[in-house]
Amino acid sequence: MDEMSNPAAARTPAVDGTGERAAGPRAPVSPHFPERLIDGYRAFLDDRFPREQARYEQLAADGQSPRIMVIGCCDSRVSPEAIFDAAPGELFVMRNVANLVPPYSPDEGLHGVSAALEYAVQSLKVQHIVVLGHGRCGGIRAFADDGAAPLSPGDFIGKWVSLLEAAAGRAGGRGQGEALPVFVERLALSSIEQSLANLRAFPCVHTLEASGKLGLHGAYFDVATGVLMRLDAETQRFVPAVSELPKRIRMIRAVGVEA
Ligand SMILES: [Zn+2]
């Protein structure tokens, strides 16, 4: 949907130089259920649901059995179902700020990511887990930019993205004179690798991967170009997921990424 057909988007403040939308003053909102969602639901009933009704009925009768878990970011521009053209029941998706997998911590804390992971691996028996990072991630930037104002007035985001310290160490920290956007992208890639390492610390994941029954993968989606990179298991480098890109798609150039 573009801004012409979405009046709400047209009213949204322009994207600033960082790729993030500048926060404008908060306008009064209607207390009613969002009309945008009602319109979208009508479109779903008119088109997608009739086409996929048999699939929904089958999924209702048999339950879900997705083969792939995707751990992605909450960012509204990076929907795994859209990027991978997934049908209902195909992907088990867990999204959080900056697509992070915390370390294995079997303690008294409440661990939402670990609960979703445990369910996917031990109950649904997924065959693959994909950590999907992305370009221009606000969560990564919040950690990387020491001088930036916090993303929110509360403490939750700052504490959450402190998980990136391990990834920053893995990346060797920000280089002398390294531009912030370059470091943010490098940290995003390093964070994917760190999340994969954290996944491997979960005993059930470690055992299943070692026995060849579970595959772990990293991927990175560049919002600006639509290019998807995947972490190559042999070279441990990010490489294009497909070689036959449409001509209009430019390859990204970033440290740590092979174009
Ligand atoms: Zn993000």
Which CATH number belongs to the domain containing residue 89 in this structure?
3.40.1050.10
What token pair was written down for 227?
A: 């290019």
The answer to the question of residue 102 being in a domain is yes
User: What is the rounded CA–CA span in Å between residue 225 and residue 223?
Assistant: 6
* Contact criterion met (CB below 8 Å) for 161 and 127: no
Q: Are residues 48 and 110 in the same domain?
A: no
Q: Output the CA 78–ligand 1 centroid distance in Å.
A: 8
pTM of the full structure: 0.85
In this structure, the answer to whether residues 39 and 131 fall within a common structural domain is no
- Assigned domain for 9 exists: no
- The Å distance, Cα 52 to ligand 1 centre, comes to 30
Residue 24 lies in a domain: no
Q: Which residue has the higher pLDDT, 148 or 178?
A: 178
Could you tell me if 200 and 209 are in contact, meaning their C-beta atoms sit under 8 angstroms apart? yes
Number of domains in the chain: 2
Same domain, 95 and 192: yes
The three-class DSSP label of residue 63 is coil
Determine the Cα–Cα distance for residues 239 and 231; give it in Å rounded to an integer: 6
Tell me the CA–centroid distance for residue 55 and ligand 1, in Å: 31
Rounded to the nearest angstrom, the distance between the alpha carbon of 193 and the centre of ligand 1 is 15
User: When comparing pLDDT for 150 and 186, which is higher?
Assistant: 186
Q: Are residues 217 and 168 in the same domain?
A: yes
| Secondary structure class of 21 (helix, strand, coil) | strand
Domain residue limits at 56: 31-63
**Span from the CA of 77 to the centroid of ligand 1 (angstroms):** 9
What tens digit of pLDDT does each residue of 3-38 get? Answer: 334 444 434 333 444 444 556 788 999 999 999 999
The answer as to whether 126 is a domain residue is: yes
Is residue 225 classed as helix, strand or coil in its secondary structure?
A: coil
Give residue 141's identity as a one-letter amino acid code: R
Structural domain includes residue 235: yes
Token pair, residue 60, equals 């209702």
Structural domain includes residue 106: yes
pLDDT > 70 fraction of the chain, expressed in percent and rounded: 83
- Picking from 178, 190, 169, 157, the residue whose alpha carbon sits closest to that of residue 256 is 190
Task: Give the count of alpha carbons within 13 A of 172, CB side only.
Answer: 6
The pLDDT of 71-90, averaged and rounded, is: 97
